């Protein structure tokens, strides 16, 4: 004779099982978020010599280039740091200002300073003079970063090491490179880097727009005039 008995679980037991699973799930999600937290780093310590005035405070239809950089990173990271060459009286809500560990040494030292001070495991990096990089593009390179030490765009004009993602793990490599007195070129550092790099190639980049526009860099008054034209065209599209 077959036994058709059914295993009955009391309502109290079911509740405890449900609570246990919810607690376990919450712990795992919380731990994952802590481990994979992203910081945003704006490199804003340049001297703006070719522009003739401070690029950070140039206004583009109502917002400064620094405003644009900060707001963009707020949308894809959990904290924003602005790296400056010197101590200044700047103040922005919910923004941390950090300063170059060595003055006048260029963006490589600025990058090192930001990565050392960030709370996250990864830093989404942009320079203050590239206002046309989109939030969608930054979100994409952020997603690519979890299996690598760095994610760096690479196209026909070369690398874009200042629009990239770096893990905390590259800090010792940059620090050793700088303090050993090697060239402060980020391009040479990346070429000789002994860490895991994910290069975004041009066809992949083009999914987010024309690289000539995305990576447009403002250094001179002529660049600024061109930038305003590009900005209007993007707004009209």
Q: Return the pLDDT at 34.
A: 47
Q: State yes or no: pLDDT of 27 exceeds 70.
A: no
CA distance 124 to 139: 9
Q: Tell me the average pLDDT of the chain.
A: 84
Q: Identify the CA nearest to 141 among candidates 156, 128, 160.
A: 160
Q: Return the pLDDT at 192.
A: 85
CA distance 156 to 99: 33
Identify the burial level of 45 via C-beta atoms within 10 angstroms of its C-beta, where 0-12 means exposed, 13-18 middle and 19 or more buried.
Answer: buried
**Between 56 and 211, whose confidence is greater?**
211
User: pTM of the entire structure?
Assistant: 0.81
Q: Return the pLDDT at 166.
A: 98
Q: Return the pLDDT at 36.
A: 43
Q: State yes or no: pLDDT of 233 exceeds 60.
A: yes
The superfamily CATH assigns to domain 37-236 is: Spore Coat Polysaccharide Biosynthesis Protein SpsA; Chain A (3.90.550.10)
Confidence of residue 62 (pLDDT cuts 50, 70, 90): confident
Interval 177-199 mean pLDDT: 90
Confidence of residue 210 (pLDDT cuts 50, 70, 90): very high
Interval 7-26 mean pLDDT: 58
Interval 76-83 mean pLDDT: 95
130 token code pair: 């590239």
CA distance 186 to 194: 14
135 token code pair: 């939030």
List pLDDT tens digits, range 101-135: 787 778 999 999 999 999 999 999 999 999 999 99
| Radius of gyration of the chain from its Cα atoms, rounded to whole angstroms | 23
């Amino acid at each position: 004779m077959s036994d058709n008995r059914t295993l009955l679980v009391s309502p109290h037991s079911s509740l405890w099982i449900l609570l246990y699973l919810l607690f376990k799930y919450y712990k795992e999600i919380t731990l994952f978020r802590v481990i994979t937290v992203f910081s945003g780093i704006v490199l804003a310590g340049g001297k703006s010599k070719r522009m003739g005035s401070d690029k950070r405070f140039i206004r583009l239809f109502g917002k400064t280039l620094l405003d644009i950089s900060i707001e963009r990173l707020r949308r894809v990271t959990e904290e924003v740091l602005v790296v400056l060459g010197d101590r200044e009286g700047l103040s922005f809500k919910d923004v941390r200002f950090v300063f170059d560990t060595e003055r006048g040494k260029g963006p490589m030292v600025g990058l090192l300073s930001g990565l050392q001070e960030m709370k996250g495991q990864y830093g989404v990096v942009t320079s203050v003079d590239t206002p046309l990089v989109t939030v969608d593009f930054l979100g994409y390179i952020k997603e690519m970063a979890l299996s690598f030490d760095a994610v760096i765009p690479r196209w026909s004009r070369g690398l874009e090491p200042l629009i990239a993602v770096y893990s905390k793990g590259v800090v010792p490599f940059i620090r050793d490179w700088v303090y050993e007195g090697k060239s402060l070129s980020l391009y040479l550092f990346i070429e000789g880097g002994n860490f895991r790099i994910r290069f975004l190639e041009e066809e992949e980049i083009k999914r987010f727009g024309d690289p000539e526009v995305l990576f447009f860099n403002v250094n001179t008054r002529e660049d600024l005039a061109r930038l305003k034209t590009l900005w209007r065209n993007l707004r009209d599209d």
